[in-house]
Amino acid sequence: MYSKAVLLNRLFIFAPTSLYRIMKKFFVLFVLFALPIIAYMFFASGQNNFAKLPVLTKTVMDVSEFQTLDGKPISLEDKISIVAFFGKKLENLKGNTFNLDQKILEKYYEFNDFQFIVVLPEEAREEAEKFKKEFSGISKTEKWKFIFGTPKEVKEVFESFDTPHNLKETYTPYVFIVDKDRNLRGRSDDEDTGKVYGYDSRSVAELSNKMNDDVKVILAEYRLALKKNNAHRKNN
């Protein structure tokens, strides 16, 4: 028979060990059952609150009445569009378009629902044609859609975007993101300027950082919507 002192001593020795084993079992059960549920709730919440590029102007004017170089119809409907107004001076057209092509466009040419539109006055047609041929060897210029109208028509489209930027003789260095419903997208809480309606095509840094990030967001937004629609169809 063990004395009372010995029994008490053994109890104090084994009690921490037993408590450790119990806590270990609870931890294992938590990892096996509770943690997956928490993870699922986190990711499900993330999908429902997926970041979307804010709409800044609803339903801008379409460009379906403008003429294209190849005579094919053009529209902002059902396409994610990068829209530019580069005026009649060839140096602006060349420099700004090349910056865009290198920093933004060439990354997304593979997407069939993505397009680059340059809205120009009719007097810039000949220069635009020359420029497109000149750069055809180093870029996918067949993806560039130059469209032409009167200065008044160009101005009307630009003004429908309702931005703080100015159009000077059919030119602005700022380029714009328009979604498939013809809504102007941008930033509503930018850390530098508050709102971002357009992106300065003269600034390689702005194109590489802000604009590139925002194009990724809107493309991901539409891809997620497509996946949800496909999943819904399979379930029905």
pLDDT tens, the chain, 236 aa long: 555 555 445 544 545 556 656 666 666 555 555 555 444 344 433 343 357 899 999 999 999 999 999 899 999 999 999 999 999 988 888 889 989 999 999 999 888 899 999 999 999 999 999 888 888 888 888 889 999 999 999 999 999 999 999 999 999 999 999 999 999 999 999 989 899 999 999 999 999 999 999 999 999 998 887 776 666 566 66
Strands (E), 87-193: 114-121, 144-149, 171-178, 184-185, 187-190
Q: Residue 134 — φ and ψ, nearest 5°?
A: -60, -40
Nearest to 143 by CA among 68, 197, 66: 68
Neighbours of 125 (CB within 10 A): 16
Query: In Å, how far are 24, 43, 117, 193, 226 from 29, measured between CA atoms?
Result: 9, 21, 57, 50, 38
Q: How far is CA 7 from the centre of its chain?
A: 71
Integer Cα distance of 156 and 178 in angstroms: 16
Sequence spans of domains, the chain: 1-49, 55-228
pTM of the model: 0.76
CATH pick for 55-228 out of 3.40.30.10, 3.40.50.300, 3.40.1500.10, 1.10.630.10: 3.40.30.10
